[in-house]
């Protein structure tokens, strides 16, 4: 079974536990790792038998840019849940990272959440 990965989706959102994070907003990077429920696209070569990457990107933008959460954990969970709900995906793993944490040494925070379709 193929695994679909979308990496480096750069989106801007107003998320954070501190007021200045929500007010100013920040650029987040989102990576998706998805396991489809079917392997039909591997033989059919038809878009209808797989997941439309553009629609996935639109969903990520809808959640990250259209909602606001205190924690990246919640943002990742909502994103994963919506992917499972709207697409024929068996398992969705969402990685969200942010830079510019205000640490003098640099670095970034990365949150990973996985959800599976109920049987």
Catalytic residue, chosen from 98, 102, 108, 117, is: 98
Query: Distance (Å, rounded) from C-alpha 110 to C-alpha 95?
Result: 7
Say if CB 49 and CB 41 are below 8 A apart.
yes
Please confirm, yes or no, whether 22 is among the known catalytic residues.
no
Residues written for the chain: 119
In angstroms, rounded to a whole number, what is the distance separating the alpha carbons of residues 11 and 119? Answer: 32
User: Whole-angstrom Cα distance, residue 85 to residue 117?
Assistant: 8
**Positions marked catalytic:** 98
């Amino acid at each position: 079974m193929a695994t679909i990965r979308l990496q480096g989706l750069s989106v801007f959102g107003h998320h954070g536990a501190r007021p200045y994070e929500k007010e100013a907003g920040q650029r987040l990077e989102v990576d998706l790792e998805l396991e489809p429920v079917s392997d039909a696209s591997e033989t059919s070569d038809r878009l209808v038998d797989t997941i439309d990457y553009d629609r996935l990107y639109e969903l990520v933008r809808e959640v990250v840019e259209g909602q606001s959460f205190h924690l990246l954990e919640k943002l990742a969970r909502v994103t994963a849940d919506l992917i499972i709900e709207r697409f024929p995906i068996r398992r969705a793993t969402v990685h969200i990272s942010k830079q510019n944490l205000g640490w003098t040494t640099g670095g970034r925070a990365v949150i990973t959440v996985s959800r599976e379709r109920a049987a």
